[in-house]
Structure 1
Amino acid sequence: MASTAHRVCMAMLALPAIALAHGEIVVDVGHTLAAPGATSARGRSEFEFNLDLAREVTAALQARGRSARLINEDGLIPSLKARPQAAEGAAFLLSIHHDSVNAFELQPWQWQGQALDYNDDFAGHSLFVSRDNPDTARSILCARIIGARLQRMGFEPTYKNGRRRAYADPMHAVHYYDGLAVLRHATMPAVLFEAGVIKNRDEELLLRDPARIARMADGIATALVACLTAGQPADDEATADGPPLQPVVE
């Protein structure tokens, strides 16, 4: 449990309601060209998946009248800390990623002459927040609303990350990952979204489908706008700020 002084400090840093309701939303494309993240079961980089979805989320937010900006579209951002720095002054930061599995859980296979690997046991989206963020309460609330909206639309979450990361909300697959640099260095509420497991051969095909990408982006945008416009953190969200439980990852 965070100290009273810590909670007061966090509350002072929280953005006013008008800034949340009308401020810019920054969408971060996870990973880079030089460090493209996981490789899918069919050999496509995570960065490419992230870019496709991040572009659609940004467009969906703009279609709802929100100021939204994409960062790291060229894949050349110089560091992890540069991501929240590039979002400075925004009302919210959403970082888009796609999930993998542990190396020891992968199975080898051949795809179009390439020696690759896969795991068909896990599929689904998940969300992450940090208690080192200055507005953990709003971060959790928006993650919950995004998760709930996607589930109502028929998207299924994964619970595999509960093996390593504590839950902020188990129903909607929202986890604490305090040490994530893109979340902990942000000066605004921030969420990292894992859209699905690209090592799963069936889900990879879904995550490549333009119509499905657009539908998922629509759900994310709808939920995020609702959260920032009218959402009020619950008591457990408002008292969520506290010392990190995970090692810091710079």
Structure 2
Amino acid sequence: MAIAAVALPLAAHAGPGRAPLVAVDVGHTLAAPGAISARGRAEFDFNRDLALQVVAALARLNVRTELVNPDGAIESLAARPAQVPAADFLLSIHHDSVGERELEHWQPDGETHSYSDRWAGHSLFVSRRNPDPGHSVLCAVAIGARLQRAGFVPTQKNGRQREYADRPHAVHFYDNLVVLYRARQPALLFEAGVIKHRDEELLLRDPRRQALMAGEIATGIAACLAAGR
């Protein structure tokens, strides 16, 4: 489905001579930490690790950043974009899970945890209720392309329930995600991988792989911001 871009340039907030500002949101909270991995680690911890890597990668590209929710204390989804009204782009970092019916159980280190090795890979989500859905899709595609060029493989899991905005790059529409439609700038939610998958969980914990993924995300965002100026 085609999305018409709005007339305003992507980095309209930036102004002459000012580096663009990207808000990087750490998904979930300490009180509601999201999915639990195959080995018992909370999604919030994965999200924060990758978000910090993305912030560092953007800084190396001379892109200004603002980290949202690093302490896991922002419980309201609407409060996240409200903290960064002047940002030129909002990226919300998450990690994926699977449905309850697909889970099995195992006992690593003597503790019982749920897992599923059926699905692995990243995916991206945008909202048509966002004030700039066209540029949200554009940036999602740019990130998806960079990731695949670097060897990261997207998942097709979410295509079962979410319409594709761009199938080759695993970009989906998720119109009612509050953090996306309450944003005042182009925005996307990134699912870095499936932490219920036992092998992928270990990859997602690896700081070197996190840095590689963050570098491709940052490069995609920087290119998208530059194209919108």
The TM-score, its normalising length taken from structure 1, stands at 0.86
Which residue among 119, 122, 126 is the counterpart of 1:125? Answer: 122
1:87 CA drift (Å): 1.6
How far is the alpha carbon of 1:231 from its aligned partner? 5.0
Where does residue 16 of structure 1 map in the other structure?
Answer: 12
Counterpart position of 2:34: 37
What residue number does 1:179 align with?
176
CA-to-partner distance for each residue in 1:32-76, whole Å, 9 max, x for gaps? 000000000000000000000000000110111111111100000
**In the alignment, is the contact (CA less than 8 A) between 1:26 and 1:71 conserved in 2?**
yes
List structure 1 segments (4+ residues) > 4 angstroms apart after TM superposition: 12-15, 17-21
In the alignment, the residues of structure 2 paired with residue 24 and residue 12 of structure 1 have an alpha-carbon distance, to the nearest angstrom, of: 16
Aligned residue for 2:187?
Answer: 190
Q: CA deviation at 1:188?
A: 0.2
| Mapped partners of 1:231, 1:108: distance in 2 | 47
Give distance in 1, aligned partners of 2:19 and 2:155.
32
Partners of 2:104 and 2:169 in 1: CA distance? 29
Matched to 2:82, the amino acid is: Q
Distance in 1 separating the partners of 2:120 and 2:142: 20
Is the 8 Å Cα contact of residues 10 and 88 (structure 2) preserved in structure 1?
A: no
The C-alpha deviation readout for 1:103-136, integer Å capped at 9, x for no partner, is: 1100011121211110001000000000000000
Identity, in percent, stands at: 60
8 Å CA contact retained: 2:136, 2:187: yes
The residue aligned with 1:72 is 69
Instruction: Spell out the pairing of 1:198-209 with structure 2 (5 A cutoff).
Output: 198-209=195-206
In 1, Cα distance between the equivalents of 2:8 and 2:224? 20
Contact (CA 8 Å) 2:22, 2:88: kept in 1 or not?
yes
Cα offsets for 1:141-192 (capped at 9, x unmatched): 0000000000000000001000000000000000000000000000100010
What SS class does the counterpart of residue 107 from structure 2 fall into?
strand
Amino acid at match of 2:12: P
Q: What's the CA shift for 1:198?
A: 0.2
Secondary structure, counterpart of 1:38 in structure 2 = coil
Deviates more, 1:31-40 or 1:70-79: 70-79
State the TM-score, normalizing by the size of structure 2. Answer: 0.94
Contact kept, 8 Å, 1:14 with 1:134, in 2: the verdict is no
**Where in structure 2 are there 5+ consecutive unaligned residues?**
none
Unaligned runs of 5+ in 1: 233-250
How do 1:100-179 residues align onto structure 2 when only pairs under 5 Å count? 100-179=97-176
2-side partners of 1:18 and 1:34: how far apart?
35
How many residues end up aligned between the 2 structures? 227
1:73/1:34 CA distance change after superposition, 3 Å:
same
SS in 1 for 2:188: strand
Paired residues of 1:11 and 1:135 also in contact (CA < 8 A): no
**Is 1:93 matched with 2:90?**
yes
Give the counterpart of 2:56 among 56, 59, 83: 59
What is the rounded CA distance, in whole Å, between the counterparts of 1:87 and 1:108 in structure 2? Answer: 41
